[in-house]
Amino acid sequence: MADPQIKFKRSSVASKRPTLDNVALGEFAINVYDGNLFTRVDTGGVGIATTVSNLTPWTENYGGESITYLGNQTSGVATITASGDAIFAGVVTATHFYGDGSNLTGIGAASTENVVTDSLKVIGVSTFQSHVHLGDNDELRIGDGNDLKLWHNGFNSIINDEGVGDLYLGGNSSVNITNGALSEFKAKFITDGAVELYYDNSKKLETTNSGVTVTGHTETDTLQVSNDVSIGVGGTTAFFDVSTGNIGIGSTQPTTKLDVNGGVISTQIKSGIITATSQFYPPILTTTERDAIGFSTGAFIFNETENRLQVYLGSTWASLTVDIDSYSIINM
């Protein structure tokens, strides 16, 4: 009599799994090609089979060189080789990785798109072949106390130094502040040179080795200077001597409170008391210059065309004849 044999339902097709219709509850089926054993499973505990489960999820590969975990998949999701290497098909998520990482290979390669971990501590230099991407409100923190932080909050980009020391920005050539396209300057800080400030990419202020050069109109509520002031306009210099309070126009060495090197045209001149130490000079004009100006009644000039003192009576000019010896008016 031949030895009795028990044979299960079977298939020799690689990776083939039985369906619910192929096996009854408690019945077994085997894939003789893969070496996997299957049965119907009652996952609801009500005596009704609901799925087919692989009873041998770990499969020894040919030659005993490795084993592969299939679970309920038709292809391996994890393989452990005879040398102890673990190969995973998909993302590896872990709370910790142990070891110095010297044998990790392929991180970031096409075969491994992501390494997901709560914490990654790297000892030594890290080299990135592509970008480092931080999402909105993800901070790049620098320093033992996270003193320096860089982040984008979804609207603004922020560099924040909360440490006790200073924040330095350095550059061997210059440090430039530009627009987002790097095409327009807002400020330039040039090493061993000028500091330049711009409005709409047009330079308006520049420091020099002797002071500051300003281009355009300047307004100030108060201007206080400690040295002499010289202002040049159209070839004429206005000079203020802070030591004496004298103002020179066309003169850089004014000897009186107002020292004008040239003619003065005025619609009105008011004078205070004339003393022995001060002098009063009326406007000196030619007849042509006098008639080209609109004067008010009482205006007083010296007409150098006629060599006479003249006063304006509202419609005509009257000449004054003065006796120099007696200081008396002899006719008008």
Same domain, 192 and 143: no
Q: Is the pTM of this model over 0.95?
A: no
Are 163 and 199 within one domain? no
Res. 39: pLDDT tops 90: no
Kindly report the number of other CB atoms within 10 A of residue 5's CB atom. Answer: 5
- For residue 73, being part of any structural domain is answered with no
Q: What local confidence, expressed as pLDDT, does residue 331 receive?
A: 46
More confident residue, 59 or 19: 19
* Mean pLDDT, residues 75-93: 69
**Tens-digit pLDDT profile for residues 259-318:** 888 776 666 555 555 555 556 778 888 999 989 888 888 888 889 999 989 999 989 999
What region, left, alpha or beta, does residue 307 occupy, with left being phi > 0 and alpha being psi -120 to 50 degrees?
left
54 inside domain? no
Would 11 be classed as within a structural domain? Answer: no
pLDDT at 269: 59
Mean pLDDT check: name the lowest of 151-165, 189-203, 241-255, 276-290: 276-290
Which pLDDT does position 111 carry in this prediction?
42
Domain boundary among 262, 283, 315: 262
Asked, for residue 104, whether it belongs to a domain, the answer is no
Residue 199 in any domain: the answer is yes
Q: Is 238 part of any domain?
A: yes
| Of 85-94, 122-131, 167-176, minimum mean pLDDT range | 85-94
If you write DSSP's letter for every residue of 216-236 in order, what string do you get? S----S----SS-EEEEETTE
Report the CATH number that the domain containing residue 310 is assigned in CATH: 2.10.10
Binned at pLDDT 50, 70 and 90, residue 202 comes out as very high
Q: Identify the three-state secondary structure at position 64.
A: helix
Q: DSSP label at 84?
A: S
Domain co-membership, 236 together with 200: no
Q: Is the pLDDT of residue 184 over 70?
A: yes
CA distances in angstroms from 180 to 136, 183, 185, 293, listed in the order given: 18, 8, 10, 57
Same domain, 247 and 286: no
SS3 (DSSP) at 166:
coil
| Residue 92 forms part of a structural domain | no
Of the candidates 28, 24, 25, the one whose C-alpha atom is nearest the C-alpha of residue 9 is: 28
Q: What is the DSSP string of 237-252?
A: EEEE-TTT--EEES-S
List the single range of 194-208, 212-226, 269-283 with lowest mean pLDDT: 269-283
185, 156: one domain: no
Indicate the number of domains in the chain: 4
161 lies in which domain range? 133-168
**Same domain membership, residue 328 and residue 287:** yes
Please tell me whether residues 179 and 159 are part of one structural domain: no
Rg (CA), the chain: 50
Which of 262, 284, 316 is where one domain is finished? 262
**288, 328: one domain:** yes
Q: What percent of the chain has pLDDT over 90?
A: 23
Q: Is position 23 within any domain?
A: no
Distance CA 40, CA 248 (A): 112
Residue 332 clears pLDDT 50, i.e. is over it: no
Average pLDDT over residues 105-124: 60
